Structure 1
């Protein structure tokens, strides 16, 4: 050192003007002036305060080199710690760095920008600017940028930033590169260019699109179903489309964006501390979903869910579609699925995740589950139909004998008392036969009792049933029936059920919505006079236009989950179609719905039996009956013998074929289900060996519901009559078969 330190207050140069000194003291910078010998001439107090460890040495006449060395030795400079001499030597090697600007960091954490400027007398001026806060802000900015870059690299959603006009790609995330490969334009991602035009048009119209479903082309050229979220942004005087793309084929959500893209991205992305749960970053969509919270622990309805989530995440390093219940921004619980990756950031475990709201998906799954239950019920009903058909088949043969003989006794018996008893037997037998045919009709799901009916009576009955009790309470239910309508051929029970179902649907819609209160049922004759109209109209909430075309689909319903099966209107449609009619849905002028049923005006047909004609024709005809049930075969033979036919009976089809080779027959009546050679093989042999007898062959069977029987009868295209058969029905069937065969 060239001088001893002075501890008395620094004395300003008395030659300087007071104004100059006041100006120097007012500066935020530390200013010091050194002469040609590099000794301190003067400085402001700010300069002294900047170097607290050597403040006692800063005085007029102090050498710059001595102050520099003292600062290093006293631990003033951070870079000099542990290497004092080397640091001093390096600083003094080229002398005072006049004309340069340096940056020094003190051990107290302050950072100064030091500028050395030459004076005219070969001295220099030192200007120290405190840049500590500026440097801290820059470090914080770099840390934030690093954080965002980390989010982008770990994001599970593919992100593409492309120019709106030509689709030229300005940025793509690693996941987008993996999904699409190295493409120059976003247009290369589309299977159909119209899809991109529609997507951009939707963006321009609304400024954003959410959950846009479209099939895109991956790196191999294969189509992939995707959901896209898009925004329009302005960047470098041009408009760009920022798109976050979720590959739905693998249910993976990855997202990777720069800060500008990330702020525009609607996908809910967040970055949290794995240990503390502290939220480090939340995208706008995450905030919209969860609200502004400082800890991810507050997301979970059950805290144990987060522990399970962390355990799986730490084990694999990533997780996909982790399902749990979360609290949304309104504090309401909802089911969500999280896809995430675990990364290291600043020495800590950090989770980058994407959350998907499963509310709509779970609603659809619940509806599908309900529909599956309904399918199960349908399967049970189908099985019941097969059971009914089987029972009917087993009863048909003995019932044929009972019905046939009772009716023949009724025709032949002259004794009134015996005839009364026969009437009871006949009535009971016919009742059993009707029950069996009802079983078969239920199995077929066709109208069971087609008869001439007055449609006004049906509608009035349906109205009375539907309005009875609480169903019609509080509603204005009106019935307008057009008089003198012609009768139609229909099943009254089924048509009544259709009208009741439509009225009850209207009543339920009005009560649940609280809208409307009037239901009107009317009948009329259509303008073409060929159909009768039944109109059921209400002033309730109505059915949306885009749903009207689907209301008759099986399992489709506009009611809430658990409130409707979607079967009622489909059943109505099936019943009306089975009557060769139509049912339609239109909007009511009052805002409700109008269902209109159209049923054809048709006289009930009846076949007229002409036993005399049959007998006349029968005198020259020989009939071959083949049935493994002896009683049924003998009964049918007796009926036809009485009608004047010559009848041969065989209980085995093989024996019948032998007699066919030896005798000529005008008609063949065969059962279907027989042991060994059944009706199918028997008919195929006839086609092959006796082709002229094909048009003279008919079937009498109790099994018309079996799949194989239905298939065979459909292929054979031959007449068939279903057991049990009355004598009148059998004679009419044979007469008709002979008439057609002769042609």
Structure 2
């Protein structure tokens, strides 16, 4: 009788140990998921939080277990930004019954939040948060390509329809110019011709933004390319009160590019930097730093200014066709630049803070 009891007890202990091992195993898996997880019981008390979620909240895990939502919001280490996000998440998912919600943190990263509750959770509430920034970038790139493809179709259909009458108007104005000169109105003809030329330039940019010509590549030195771009920009920079500083790299670097196209991109970036500095004020001492450094199989060309900078909303639309904040801008310069660098198997990254300047980084493949 005693031996049977001991055997039963031993089996129970083994079963308990086995259950604990399985529990510890699955808890360890949950702890190290790349998604953040929080579990609230039916009374709204936090019973489980994994490492990733604690990292996202920037609060130690041990200080959160046992808190309800109100205590969590009053936590001394929780930032005001995150408090607002948690309240909005509560409103969207609990009050408005939305199972999924997308939010952006203070660092500009995108997160998809999902809440699960009901009969399958036996009264508990499971909140999961996944970083979807990379998927968002892919989505935005696809959206950008769709817009450029649509722009190409529009441009192909209207370019000739606009250019033909402009050419005719330009020809007739030139024929009338001697008569206007006799009347002392030659200034009118000059203005009309310059505006027609500007319209033609806009159409040219419009066409190039959707489909730039195929790159005619030659191997060139990055150092000579940057020196030439700076040389072409120096006089305008001086007139606008800007200083262009070129930092030469000790490493010789060559790239295979269409020199005309990439030079157009560099000049466009430098001009944008000058315009951003000009926005600050005429007495402001503007500086544009240009450098190039190798990064694996690529070279990173950095153009940094101390101008007006941009907010996150503007950064998100920077490469959109026709998006511009300039009074006389077409909104096509950066769109064209983006497509040119992509055609060279490169990339453009930008980082900016409102009031603190902007950094553009152009990455191009190096020639071995």
| Superposition TM-score, scaled by structure 1 size | 0.22
Greater Rg over alpha carbons, structure: 1
